[in-house]
Structure 1
Amino acid sequence: MRDATNISAVASLSPHFMGFIFYENSKRFVGQNWQMPYLSRQIQKVGVFVNETSENIASIAQKYALDYLQLHGEESPEFCERLKQKLHLPIVKAFGVGQGFEFSNLEPYLPCVDAFLLDTQGKERGGNGIAFDWQILQSYPYSKPLWISGGISLENSLVLFEFLQQKPQIPVQVIDLNSRFEIEPALKDVEKLKTWKTAIFEPFCQTINET
């Protein structure tokens, strides 16, 4: 996200996380000298980076008081470890799920990241609007929390939630709503998000609490 008015409108729905992309080649890049509007401390600010230097990440994290770092490039486990020791912020490492993907690729990162984000492998580094086959999550062998991204929409969210309800052993921590809830890149459809929250997410949470 990057538009101040849109950010404030989405913030009124009390999301747990809000993402900001600091990657110049992304169509959702916040831009140079961007000013972040006020956000409640209840909303965790996630900075998204792609193959950025640790120095630039540190500078941006300090400037915007980021709460999480999401690494969406080819960052090595050693880089993640050094960054974690330097900034003491939670790190989420993103992986594209596609041809040739194996959960064993995540294993070297287990000691140095706090969660894995699984997105659909596509021509863009994220925000392709395509869901991967969630059945693959049944084979996830680790306890490290998962952030699920990639083409999640009003139309398929119930299927995702019903699947996760049947598989409580899958440690899903975050559901990432992005391109399928956009009017245009980096501009969210607030009414669609509101519908998702009231008609899908909240009833699902109530069902979970009751069981």
Structure 2
Amino acid sequence: MKYPENILEIAALQPDYMGFIFWEKSARYFDGVLPELPKSIQKTGVFVQETIPNILQKVNQYHLQAVQLHGNESVAYCTELQKTLPKNIQIIKVFSVLETFDFNALKPFEPLCDYFLFDTKGKLPGGNGTSFDWKMLENYPSTKPFFLSGGIGLDQMDAVSKILKTKLPVYAIDVNSKFETEPALKNKSRCLEAINTLNTYQHTNHKK
């Protein structure tokens, strides 16, 4: 998210999380004024290979509740970040997935992150608008809850619902580029349709 009016428009739909990208090379780079949001929405700062002091500065400046690491941050880096951030700040570690992805690489990150996020490996750290082969998740060896991401649009909702029927610990569905009219400008009606579709599924299947 980037534009104040659009932020408030989407916030009215009560998403669980809203992301703000603090990577200057991104077309979605956020450096504006963040309007007051409902307390139920977790304000999430998205960072790529950022220094820990700069992350802490943004957390304090924008009163973020979550930090999403979208680069090649190491175990040592995540260890230091966990020690530095206030205990109530969630850490979401992103892993870009291709056919050769080794899920065993996740294990040392498990005690350092609250959630993983699986996105499609592409030219950019995120927002590439493409999906990876979700069948790969059948090899997921962890109980750590994760966000599912990667080019998810309205036409993927049926596929998403099938994944939610499995025993995989899917915590959240992360959407971005397929719901934009331009970078960082979200289409309210598309977002509402996605939320309603997922809420209908949750109520039908009693899975939060």
8 Å contact kept, 1:134–1:160 = no
Cα distance in 2 between the residues matched to 1:159 and 1:58 = 37
Per-residue deviation, 1:153: 0.7
Does the CA contact (< 8 Å) of 2:93 and 2:117 recur in 1?
yes
| Alignment match, 1:77 | 75
TM-score of the superposed pair, with normalisation by structure 1? 0.94
TM superposition shift of 1:100: 2.3
Matching of residue 128 in structure 1 with residue 128 in structure 2: yes
Do the aligned partners of 1:84 and 1:90 also contact (CA within 8 Å) in 2? no
Structure 1 gap segments, 5+ residues each: none
Aligned partner of 1:113: which letter?
Answer: C
* Shift of residue 9, structure 1, vs aligned partner: 0.5
Distance 1:72 1:99 in 2: 19
SS of corresponding position for 1:123: coil
- Aligned partner of 1:183: which letter? T
Which residues in structure 2 correspond to 1:118-197 (within 5 Å)? 118-165=118-165, 167=166, 169-197=167-195
Out of 39, 42, 59, the position equivalent to 1:41 is 39
**Superposition pairs of residues 8-27 of structure 1, within 5 angstroms:** 8-27=8-27
| Distance (whole Å) between structure 1 residues aligned to residue 194 and residue 119 of structure 2 | 20
Q: Which runs of 4+ in 1 moved over 4 A?
A: none
Q: Output the CA distance in 2 between the equivalents of 1:45 and 1:201.
A: 21
When the two structures are superposed, what TM-score results if normalisation uses the length of structure 2? Answer: 0.95
Q: Which residue type is aligned with residue 181 of structure 2?
A: I
Matched, 1:205 2:205: no
Unaligned runs of 5+ in 2: none
Aligned-residue offset at 1:21? 0.3
The Cα RMSD (Å) is 1.2
Identity of aligned residues (%): 42
Q: CA deviation at 1:206?
A: 1.5
The CA distance in 2 between the partners of 1:137 and 1:164, in whole Å, is 12
Q: Residue 65 of structure 1 corresponds to which residue in structure 2?
A: 63
Give distance in 2, aligned partners of 1:206 and 1:112: 32
